[in-house]
Chain A
C-alpha cells in the first residue's frame, strides 16, 4: 500500500485496538449511547481540530483557538442575554468578528513575516483578555432557541442519542475532508506546507491562501465556541483554556506532520475519538485520576511523533522532519 498512508493506518489500528481493549474490560463501552456521547462531548474539540488540521498542514500553528472559543461564548452570551439579540444574529456577529480576527492574524503572518507561533500567541492573549474585559463572570444563556437546539437529537438503535452538535461536527469533518483533498484551496494548503518558496514559484497565491487558512481556523474555532455555549448554556471568559493543545494533539495523533505538507482531515477525526476514548475509559474505570488523561495523551503524542519520523526517515532522507514542536 501507499507508504504515506501508514501513519493514518496506524492511527486507525491503534484506535481499534484501544477501543477493543476497553470494551473487553467494560462491555458497556460498546453501545450507541457511549458512541453518541463521544460525538456530543467532543463536538467543539473536533470542529476546532479541523481548522487546526489545515493550519498545521500549511506549516503553521494556531494557539488562539481556545481563546477564540472562550471569546465567542462570552460575545454570544452577552449579545443574547444582555442585549436581547436573537441567537442567530449573535452567531452571525460572532462569525464576522472571528473572521476578521483570523484574517488579521494571517495578514500579520504573511506581510510582517512574523512566525505564526508568536502571532497566534498574541492573538490568544488578545482574545482571552478581550473576553475577560467584557465580563469576568459566567453569563448564562436562557433562550428558547438555545434549549431547542441543544435538546435536538435523533434516537439511535440501542438508546443512544445522536445530537445536533455531534452531527454538526461530523458534517464539518466531511466538508473539511472534501475541501482539503478535492479543491484548489486544499492543494494550495498542502503546497504551502511542503515548501512555501516552491509553492510561490509554482504560482500558489501565498498571501491569499495564508489569510484564508487563518480565517478558516478562527471561523471554525468560533463555530466550536458556539457549540460549546450550546453545550454549557453559558459564556465564560475562561472556558476552553488549553483546547488548542488538545486540538494540536488530535491533529498529530491523526497522523499530520507538525512541520506541514502532509496530513489527513479524517486522521484528525480518529485522533479526536482516541482522546475521547481515553477520557471515557478513565471515567468508566473510576479509580484512575483525571491526570492520567494527560499522561496517556502525552504518551500517544510521543508514539506518533516517533512513528512519523521512522516513516519519513525511511522515505525521505534529510533532517527536516518534525524539527519544531
Chain B
C-alpha cells in the first residue's frame, strides 16, 4: 500500500514562499528580473535575499535554541552590542579583522552567559544599555573596508550577507544532521531529564547551543553595522528577536522543543522578508506589515497545531468510511 506522508507532499513553507513571491510578481512585474552589473547580481529577488539575510542568520541560531525548548530573547541586543564593539574598535584604529574577531568574541561570551544562566531576558534588557555604554550614546560611524565589505560587498556575484547566511545554513545543517548533535538537541528538547539519564551531557549541550545563537547574533550585528556603516545601539536589531522566532515558527520548528529544521527556518525568514518587500512595492504603508505578519503567523500556527492535525485525521477517517 502506498502511503505518502502528507507533511512531505504539502510543504507549507515552500508553498508559502513561492506564493508570496508570485504575489510580489503580480504586484510588481519586474520582480524576477535579475541583472548582472559591476560584477554582481541586482534585482528585487536578490534584494529580498539580501535584506532577509540578517534575520535568516538569527533564525539559524534561534532554531537550535528553540529545539532545546528554550528561546533566546537576547539576539537583538547582542546584535547591537556586537555592532557597537566592531565600530568602536575600528574607530579606535584597530584593523577590520580585529574588530570582527572582537564582535564575534562578544557574541560568543553573551551566548555562553545565556547558556549558563538560561535567562536570556536579562541580556535582552541589559544588552542594549551595555551597547549604549560602549558607543557612549552616540551612533559610531566608520568606513573600514573589511566591515563595509561584510555588509555590502559581493562574492561570486552574490551579496556578502547572502553568502554568509548560506554558508552558515549549510555548516549548521551538516553539523546537526550528519552528526548525532541534532538528535541530542531534539532529545533535550523533548525531555531534558530523560536525555540526561540517557547519558547526554545536556548542560554542556545547552551552553553550546546558546553560544551558537550568540555567534549568529554577532554575525548579524556585524552585517547590519557594515551595511549602514555605523553602529546604532538604540535601533540595531530592535525587535529582530521576534522576527527570528517568527521565522523559526513559520519554518515549522516546534516551540515545545524536539522538532526543528534549520533550512525551513531560513525559508521562514525569506517569507517574512518577501512579505515586507511585497507590502513596500504595493504601496501600502509599512505599518500594514505588522498586521499581515500577525495574520501569517496565526495562519501557519493554525495549520500546524495539534487541533488541525486531529481535524485532518477525523476527515481522513470519515472519507475512508465513506469510500
Contacts and interface: CB of A to CB of B under 8 A. Distances in A.
Interface of A: 108, 111-115, 117-119, 121-126, 128-130, 132-133, 136, 237, 245, 248-249, 252, 258, 289, 291-295, 297-299, 301-302, 305-306, 318-319, 322-325
Q: How large is the interface on B (under 10, 10 to 19, 20 to 34, 35 or more residues)?
A: 35 or more
Given A133-B285, A291-B133, A298 B125 contact: yes
B193 interface: yes
Contact of A125 (B73, B290, B307): B290
B293 A125 contact: yes
A293 B256 contact: no
A325 B73 contact: yes
B95 interface: no
A118 B255 contact: yes
B301 A118 contact: yes
Contact of A122 (B119, B120, B297): B297
Given A248-B121, A302-B117, A322-B119, 13 more contacts: A123-B294, A126-B291, A129-B288, A132-B285, A133-B288, A136-B285, A237-B287, A289-B137, A294-B129, A295-B130, A319-B192, A323-B70, A325-B73
A294 B307 contact: no
B269 to A, nearest CB: 16
B308 to A, nearest CB: 8
Given A121-B245, A129-B294, A299-B126, A325 B118 contact: yes
A249 B125 contact: yes
B129 A121 contact: no
B224 interface: no
B307 A111 contact: yes
Contacts of B220: none
Contacts of B256: 115
Q: Is the interface of B mostly helix, strand, loop or mixed?
A: helix
Interface string B282-302: 000101111111110110011
Given A108-B298, A323-B70, A325-B119, A298 B126 contact: yes
27 contacts: A111-B307, A114-B305, A118-B249, A118-B297, A121-B246, A121-B297, A122-B294, A124-B294, A125-B290, A126-B291, A129-B289, A129-B292, A129-B293, A132-B287, A132-B290, A133-B285, A245-B125, A295-B130, A295-B133, A298-B127, A299-B126, A301-B122, A302-B119, A306-B117, A323-B118, A323-B192, A325-B119
Q: For A123, A124, A291, A322, which residue has the most chain B Cβ atoms within 10 angstroms?
A: A291
Interface in B74-130: 117-130
Nearest to A130: B291
B305 A113 contact: yes
B58 interface: no
B242 interface: yes
Nearest to A306: B117
Contacts of A113: 305-307
B185 interface: no
Nearest to B234: A291
B121 A325 contact: yes
A258 B118 CA distance: 12
B287 A136 contact: yes
B190 to A, nearest CB: 13
A128 B124 CA distance: 20
Closest 5 CB pairs between A and B?
Answer: A298-B126, A129-B290, A132-B287, A294-B129, A129-B291
